[in-house]
């Protein structure tokens, strides 16, 4: 069954989501594409979304039905997950069962059947495209690393990071799509939808006020912020509610 989720995330604060690629003269930099637009790697979103979905599924059902990332040895395939009355399915490629979160997000033994696209910054509706293209998307800020042990500024630990521009609330569009088993599609996309709604921050330096998301109701532009389709049909609020109910303890 084909499924597709399109969504928007808007940040309340500046963000710093590095890919490990560092700009010239800056210690850390948030990721940009070749046109200078801010981007968030799909893997960054996928990792955070799995945390949220795992939290929700564990709260509704039994935490022990799911493996515990991020260490590979604590993840599926996991013989301890095979027990009576558990919804863990046998994966065709492995002799051990794969938990349902790994069926959605994938693990070493079974890649996800869903694709989590790179999130790309969108031009705001109330700004001319040309002005937006010319705007500086990042600003370098200097910080002092504090020694955690002595609670004083560590010597020569001034560092710089290029975050998104201050006073700006960047808006991103992303997409999750692929094929899911028909019997599980509504339940799986409902959990993904609940996870997206629960996201509150992305990226590093949250304690320094970076990477906080606006709640969906606070988005200034670009509604609808979330659309879920199963087999080409938009998921209704009632189907979403029933899909989430499906995660309750058996
Ligand atoms: Zn698992």
Cα–ligand 1 centroid distance for 37 (angstroms): 35
- With 0.85 as the threshold, say if the pTM is over it: no
Burial of 229 (0-12, 13-18, 19+ CB in 10 A): middle
Q: What percent of the chain has pLDDT over 70?
A: 78
SS (H, E, C) 141-190: EEEEEEECCCCEEEEEEEEEEEEECCCCCCEEEEEEEEECCCCCHHHHHH
Q: Give the best-scoring range by mean pLDDT among 7-11, 29-33, 121-125.
A: 7-11
Beta bridge partners of 7: 174, 226
Tokens standing for 228?
């879920």
Cα–ligand 1 centroid distance for 233 (angstroms): 29
CATH number of domain containing 222 = 3.30.70
Residue 80 lies in a domain: no
Cα–ligand 1 centroid distance for 226 (angstroms): 27
Contact between 199 and 5 under an 8 Å Cβ cutoff? The reply is no
Cα–ligand 1 centroid distance for 192 (angstroms): 16
Cα–ligand 1 centroid distance for 95 (angstroms): 14
Cα–ligand 1 centroid distance for 31 (angstroms): 30
Average pLDDT, the chain: 81
Cα–ligand 1 centroid distance for 64 (angstroms): 10
Cα–ligand 1 centroid distance for 211 (angstroms): 28
Cα–ligand 1 centroid distance for 80 (angstroms): 11
Indicate the number of domains in the chain.
1
Residue 11 lies in a domain: yes
Domain that includes residue 185, residue range: 2-63+113-245
Residue 68 lies in a domain: no
How far apart, in whole angstroms, are the C-alpha atoms of residue 137 and residue 168?
9
Cα–ligand 1 centroid distance for 68 (angstroms): 7
Beta bridge partners of 138: 164
Residue 82 lies in a domain: no
Per-residue pLDDT tens over the stretch 195-247: 998 888 887 666 777 888 887 665 554 445 789 999 999 999 999 999 999 99
For the chain, give the number of residues: 250
How far apart, in whole angstroms, are the C-alpha atoms of residue 137 and residue 16?
12
């Amino acid at each position: 069954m084909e499924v597709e989720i399109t969504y928007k995330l808007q940040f309340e604060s500046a963000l710093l989501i590095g890919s490990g690629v560092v700009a010239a003269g800056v210690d850390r930099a948030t990721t940009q594409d070749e046109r200078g637009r801010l981007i968030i790697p799909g893997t960054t979103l996928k990792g955070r979304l799995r945390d949220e979905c795992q939290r929700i599924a564990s709260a509704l059902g039994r935490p022990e039905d799911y493996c515990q990332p991020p260490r590979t040895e604590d993840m599926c395939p996991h013989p301890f997950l095979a027990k009576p009355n558990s919804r863990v399915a046998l994966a065709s490629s492995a002799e051990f069962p794969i938990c349902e979160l790994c069926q959605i997000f994938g693990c070493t033994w079974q890649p996800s059947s869903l694709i989590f696209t790179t999130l790309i910054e969108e031009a705001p509706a109330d700004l001319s495209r040309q002005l937006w293209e010319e705007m500086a998307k990042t600003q370098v800020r200097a910080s002092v690393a504090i020694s955690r042990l002595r609670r004083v500024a560590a010597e020569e630990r001034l560092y710089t990071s290029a975050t998104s521009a201050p006073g700006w609330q960047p808006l991103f569009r992303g997409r999750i799509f692929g094929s899911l088993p028909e019997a599980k599609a509504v339940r799986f996309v409902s959990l993904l939808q609940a996870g997206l709604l629960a996201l509150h921050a992305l990226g590093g330096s949250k304690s320094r006020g970076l990477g906080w998301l606006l709640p969906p109701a606070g988005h200034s532009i670009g509604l609808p912020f979330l659309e879920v389709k199963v087999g080409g049909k938009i998921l209704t609020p009632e189907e979403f509610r029933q899909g989430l109910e499906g995660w309750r303890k058996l």
